[in-house]
Structure 1
Amino acid sequence: MSKPTRNTPAKLRRPLLTGLVVALATLSFALPSQARETLRIGYQKSSTLITLLKAQGTLDKTLAQQNIDVSWHEFPSGLPLLEALNVGNVDISADVADTVPIFAQAAQAKLTYFAQEAPSPSAQAIVVHKDSSLQQLSDLKGKKVAVTKAAGSHYLLIAALNKAGLQFSDIQPAYLSPADGRAAFENNKVDAWVTWEPFLTSAQRQLPTRTLADGDGLASYKRYYLTSTSYAKTHPQVLKVVYDQLYKTGSWIKTNPRDAAQVLSPLWGNLGVETVESANTHRSYQVQPVKIDQLGEQQKIADAFFAAGLLPKTVDAKDVGIWRP
């Protein structure tokens, strides 16, 4: 009877090892590869916190740890930004004025709020030339007023006119972007201009102006951060990262106003650091969750625009998604 040789166990191990290698290879092909994604962020020049995050690279670095890249897309104002969000050209919108989501809702956009900034009523105003004959809001009747369509300042103008016993139809609106509005105002093509920060402080420091009214008692001027309803459902972890970074940046800008102004100055057309710092004092930058039962002023805004004939239909301000951290 022959004895078993010493190399028998090795012979047995070879097919076992080969089978194990094949099994592991098969498993590795079966597991989904973690492909990099890209978060597309739309913003405007007045999107201060997002602008700081972009400049400092903070958000890019944090999301890179989750295999997510960031692409940045600048828009001239809030309405075209939310239009881009609605058609899927961006994934999230940096802060836009409270009026903008109302217009987007009227266009059947499926929006989800994921953050807001506390009210900043003095961050927008109606200005006239210092030597203008216009002394009070009622003097705007029949005058040409530069305003950006669907901006927060658009609602401020409506509210101010109503306070003076006037309707929006009592003036001649000139719908212009902030840059074009400034040019028209500076060249006396319009009688008044309604704008917001940092354009407001820039004009007040560089031009002889007088303020007819700001938002105090008229328009609280909240700014909202939004995403599509579908993105909120599929990427809640990304929204949490963005929310946390916005909150930290809002706190940082208030405790480091000069440092923030020095970063923002070249990004805001080389506005003077003192001008930027002054403009930022009018914004709260206090990032908060959005609550459905706190959208009362949104409904008030929607009703005012509809009454002025500027919306094609009534809008239910609460007919939106709410994401909370």
Structure 2
Amino acid sequence: MFTRRQTLSLLSAAAAVAVLPSTRSASAAEPLKELRFGWQKNGVLALAKGTGALEKRFADRGITVTWAEFSSGPPLLEALGAGAIDFGPTGDVPPLFAQAAGGNLLYAGTYKGSSAGSAILVHKDSPFQTVADLKGKRVAFKRGSSAHNFTVKALRKSGLGITDIEAADLSPSDAAAAFASRQIDAWSIWDPYFAVAEKDPNTRVLTTAEGIVESWSYFLSNGDFAANHGDVLGDILDELAKVGAAAQNDLDGTVAALSKITGVPEEIQRVVLTRKDFSLADVSTLGPDAAAYQQALADEFFQLQIIPKKLTVSDIIWKGRAS
């Protein structure tokens, strides 16, 4: 399904928390010397990494910037809550698991992607024509990721529940290998992994997330970092908004830049960036729509007993820069 080069460059496993920089005890009295980002192979933060925008923003304050790569949101937020990184992006579901586990983190900002950028994939020659046909079949997605939410809602729309399938909790890299070797019947995944997979002539899109789930994503901060360095956190979001606006106004340049930093071929990046309703220019703090969406998702996942406790999302929304 994938060439060895694509598999190694795009679907490498996440950096383990054990090899991240050691955690630090944040203190308001200590000036910040190092800013630690977790990133994934997509979006505005990846672009900022490629352009050095954040390094430039904080250079005159003597703040160095370091980066740790992750393949999905759950391990990124584990590192964030543990204080091994300060800031990172994720989809909608990982923060629910992190909050339920007592992770020390806050929602800092949001951005909205394209629902067309997530899909459930099957093999071209499979007999499955609708999501309902997956009853009793082995479907892979990363537990606690945005694909988890998409799968739940796609099944429900088809009259099924999550217990009607055999769910396989696999990272993107492991799911790609399992799909290629036909160890799974279907794969629920997001861009850019989806964009790579759909190029394969032996892969068929069973459904995208359009009309099923909105594509909210979030920037989160370590709680101590937000409390002690709110001025820096505000500047991070401000810089990312500038990067996103500039990128959206120059899609050809953005395709090339993202391809260079992520190793994803330009033709794949162009597919991702031109999905219906996709925009890089909407970075902001959490508004009422994003907060309401996340609270409704938290309530649903509690009712389905996917998360173990009822959550109040507003408890971990950053209130803004320190005065």
Band of TM-score, shorter chain: 0.7 to 0.9
Match of 1:306 among 288, 302, 305: 302
Question: Do the aligned residues in 2 keep the contact of 1:82 with 1:104 (CA within 8 Å)?
Answer: yes
- Paired with 2:177 and 2:245, the residues of 1 have a C-alpha distance of 34
The aligned length equals: 290
Question: Do the aligned residues in 2 keep the contact of 1:292 with 1:318 (CA within 8 Å)?
Answer: no
The aligned counterpart of 1:226 is: 220
Question: Do the aligned residues in 2 keep the contact of 1:247 with 1:287 (CA within 8 Å)?
Answer: yes
The aligned counterpart of 2:190 is: 196
- Paired with 2:248 and 2:311, the residues of 1 have a C-alpha distance of 35
For residues 217 and 232 of structure 1, do their structure 2 counterparts lie closer, same or farther at Cα, with a shift above 3 Å needed?
A: same
- The Cα RMSD (Å) is 1.9
Match of 1:187 among 160, 181, 188: 181
Structure 1 vs Structure 2: percent identity of aligned residues? 36
The aligned counterpart of 1:322 is: 318
- Paired with 1:288 and 1:45, the residues of 2 have a C-alpha distance of 20
The one-letter code sitting in structure 2 at the alignment partner of 1:53 is A
Structure 2 length-normalised TM: 0.84
Match of 1:142 among 130, 133, 136: 136
Secondary structure class of the residue paired with 1:64: helix
The aligned counterpart of 1:15 is: none
- Paired with 1:160 and 1:152, the residues of 2 have a C-alpha distance of 12
The aligned counterpart of 1:175 is: 169
Match of 2:287 among 285, 291, 308: 291
Question: Do the aligned residues in 2 keep the contact of 1:96 with 1:225 (CA within 8 Å)?
Answer: yes
- Per the TM alignment, residue 90 of structure 1 is displaced from its structure 2 partner at its CA by 0.7
Match of 2:155 among 114, 137, 161: 161
For residues 189 and 83 of structure 1, do their structure 2 counterparts lie closer, same or farther at Cα, with a shift above 3 Å needed?
A: same
Tell whether 2:82 aligns with 1:66: no
Question: Do the aligned residues in 1 keep the contact of 2:47 with 2:261 (CA within 8 Å)?
Answer: no
Match of 1:78 among 57, 65, 73: 73
Tell whether 2:220 aligns with 1:217: no
For residues 309 and 74 of structure 1, do their structure 2 counterparts lie closer, same or farther at Cα, with a shift above 3 Å needed?
A: same
Question: Do the aligned residues in 2 keep the contact of 1:169 with 1:308 (CA within 8 Å)?
Answer: no
Unpaired runs of 5+ residues, structure 1, are 1-32
Find the structure with the greater CA-based Rg: 1
- Paired with 2:31 and 2:298, the residues of 1 have a C-alpha distance of 42
For residues 34 and 165 of structure 1, do their structure 2 counterparts lie closer, same or farther at Cα, with a shift above 3 Å needed?
A: closer
Higher alpha-carbon deviation: 247-256 or 190-199:
247-256
- Paired with 1:209 and 1:293, the residues of 2 have a C-alpha distance of 35
Unpaired runs of 5+ residues, structure 2, are 1-28
Structure 1 length-normalised TM: 0.84
The one-letter code sitting in structure 2 at the alignment partner of 1:80 is P
Match of 1:53 among 45, 48, 51: 48
Deviation track 1:7-54 (CA, whole Å, cap 9, x = no partner) reads xxxxxxxxxxxxxxxxxxxxxxxxxx99661011111223x2111111
Question: Do the aligned residues in 2 keep the contact of 1:126 with 1:214 (CA within 8 Å)?
Answer: yes
- Per the TM alignment, residue 252 of structure 1 is displaced from its structure 2 partner at its CA by 2.0
Q: Which structure 2 residues correspond to residues 106-145 of structure 1 after superposition, within 5 A?
A: 106-145=100-139
For residues 227 and 168 of structure 1, do their structure 2 counterparts lie closer, same or farther at Cα, with a shift above 3 Å needed?
A: same
- Paired with 1:119 and 1:198, the residues of 2 have a C-alpha distance of 12
- Paired with 1:292 and 1:111, the residues of 2 have a C-alpha distance of 19
The aligned counterpart of 1:274 is: 267
Higher alpha-carbon deviation: 180-189 or 149-158:
180-189
Question: Do the aligned residues in 1 keep the contact of 2:53 with 2:243 (CA within 8 Å)?
Answer: no
- Paired with 2:120 and 2:303, the residues of 1 have a C-alpha distance of 21
Secondary structure class of the residue paired with 1:90: coil
- Paired with 1:230 and 1:173, the residues of 2 have a C-alpha distance of 36
- Paired with 1:218 and 1:35, the residues of 2 have a C-alpha distance of 46
Q: Which runs of 4+ in 1 moved over 3 A?
A: 33-36
- Per the TM alignment, residue 63 of structure 1 is displaced from its structure 2 partner at its CA by 0.4
Higher alpha-carbon deviation: 214-223 or 77-86:
214-223
- Per the TM alignment, residue 208 of structure 1 is displaced from its structure 2 partner at its CA by 2.6
Deviation track 1:99-156 (CA, whole Å, cap 9, x = no partner) reads 1111111101232222110242112111111221110111110010110111111100
The one-letter code sitting in structure 1 at the alignment partner of 2:265 is G
Deviation track 1:131-185 (CA, whole Å, cap 9, x = no partner) reads 2111011111001011011111110000011111111011011111111111111
